[in-house]
Amino acid sequence: MIIHPQIQGCVARNCHPIGCRAAVEQQIAEIRAAGPFNGPRRVLILGASSGFGLASRIALTFGAGANTIGVSFERGPSDQGIGSAGWYNNIWFKQAAEREGYQAINLIGDAFSDAMRQQAIATIRQLWGEVDLVIYSLASGQRLLADGRRVRSVLKATGQPFTGWGLSLEHNALVEQTLPLASTEEIHDTVTVMGGEDWQQWMQALQDADCLAPGVQTVAYSYIGPASTYPLYRDGTIGYAKEHLHGTAEAINLQLAELGGHAWVSVCKALVTKASAYIPVLPVYLGLLMGVMKERGVHEGCIEQMRRLFADKMYGAEGVIADGNRLIRMDDHELDPAIQAAVSALWPKVTPENFTSMGDFAGLRRDFMQLNGFELPGVDYEAPVNIDALGELEP
Ligand code: NAI
């Protein structure tokens, strides 16, 4: 079967499995080229199959020699379709890691469930007994609670609705998008899905099962952004969830004190991922930001961000480098006042007619396509892909 991209709005409806392999290999090559660094050896990654979680896994394995267990929620090939990019990312990562002699276990299923926590605990006991680092990198639109209730997160505004230009990746066009006003219930639900409760439940379960090594670290990923994006993010429903995540880090930190362990939040830079492409209006900021940061030579993709996080800000000679609120600031370059001034000067001038000549919307689009295995150099997209043969591969 020859696979062409199917994009709907800002969501990819299919992926190119061979292109996904090229994307994983590209990230591995970047980490190899950047050289080894000190890091943890036994790592559990929740949300390991794409975006920041996958980049963390690649950086730690190929940069610091880590063995990993990765949890993710992905679909394999079936009558319904080719399967998800994350499914193939898991397979290709595992193959590459095992070729080098590293352990790479993929657990596929719902990370919010107690069953998955128990499966992860059983795997840790069997392989290592305990873990040195737990990465919390889930991005989800819903969470199934233990009582059977399905709670959905929403991307909405609070205070007042917000309208601006958004990006349709399907049509490569700007379209007006509105973040409607969230109800109090929607704010609470978004906190339930994307806040810190589940992270804490994981850490508690791991600690109760004696699966955390002395001096264990855990880190969750967050975003704050500049004031110009507050109506979309920090002051929106997702911002409430992130605030809750930050507060939870303090609670987990206290919980880990008896092990000499610590919990951190890494505030990352805005980057193109499956999750961020979905946030209304934000991709327009992102396209402008990418242009400005590339012009000034400070652009980073997921893989560069994650390498810098572990090599320089968590496991470097100075140990963890955090701000006064115990946040690890990976958004330092993004929030540089000169960068923000340049982005803010462009943003009001963006129109559907001129946006392709501003910022780096072509780069943003390419990054998005590459997340799904398309537009990677060296891949023959006219060659048929044998899905039946791929279906034989175990994640
Ligand atoms: P992503 O969509 O690329 O990855 C999400 C991961 O979560 C995938 O591995 C997916 O399989 C997994 N997942 C989702 N629901 C699951 C479930 N029920 N059970 C098991 N696994 C599940 O997202 P991205 O962007 O890498 O996001 C990760 C974290 O980083 C999020 O907390 C996000 O808010 C944060 N972040 C993202 C930024 C960005 O610009 N993309 C910026 C700063 C923080």
pLDDT of residue 288: 97
Q: Report the alpha-carbon distance of residue 62 to residue 82 in Å, rounded.
A: 28
Q: Report the alpha-carbon distance of residue 387 to residue 272 in Å, rounded.
A: 27
Tell me the mean pLDDT in the region 157-177: 94
Helical residues (DSSP H) of 164-267, grouped into ranges: 184-194, 197-208, 237-255
Mutate to test the pocket of ligand 1, among 20, 72, 305 (most ligand atoms within 8 A of CB): 72
**Mean confidence (pLDDT) of the chain:** 97
Active-site residue, selected from the candidate residues 136, 233, 240, 285: 233
Q: Report the alpha-carbon distance of residue 205 to residue 198 in Å, rounded.
A: 10
Share of the chain above pLDDT 70, in %: 100
Contact 286, 279 (CB under 8 A): no
Length of the chain: 395
Query: Residue ranges of the domains in the chain?
Result: 7-142+150-391
Binding site members: 47-52, 73-74, 110-111, 138-139, 223, 242, 271-273
pLDDT digits (tens, 9 = 90+) for 120-156: 999 999 999 999 999 999 999 999 999 999 999 999 9
Q: What are phi and psi of 49, to 5 degrees?
A: -95, -10
* CATH tag, 7-142+150-391: 3.40.50.720
pLDDT digits (tens, 9 = 90+) for 232-258: 999 999 999 999 999 999 999 999 999
- Is residue 233 part of the annotated active site? The answer reads yes
Q: Report the alpha-carbon distance of residue 218 to residue 204 in Å, rounded.
A: 12
What CA–CA distances, in Å, run from 185 to 39, 241, 278?
Answer: 41, 13, 21
Residue 21 carries which side chain, given as an amino acid letter?
R
Task: Evaluate if pTM is beyond 0.75.
Answer: yes
Contact 226, 169 (CB under 8 A): no
For 263, the 3-state DSSP assignment is strand
Biggest CA-to-CA distance, the chain: 59
Distance 271 CA to ligand 1 centre (A): 12
Nearest CA-CA partner of 56 in 93, 83, 85, 21: 93
pLDDT of residue 95: 98
pLDDT of residue 80: 86
For 72, the 3-state DSSP assignment is strand
pLDDT digits (tens, 9 = 90+) for 42-77: 999 999 999 999 999 999 999 999 999 999 999 999
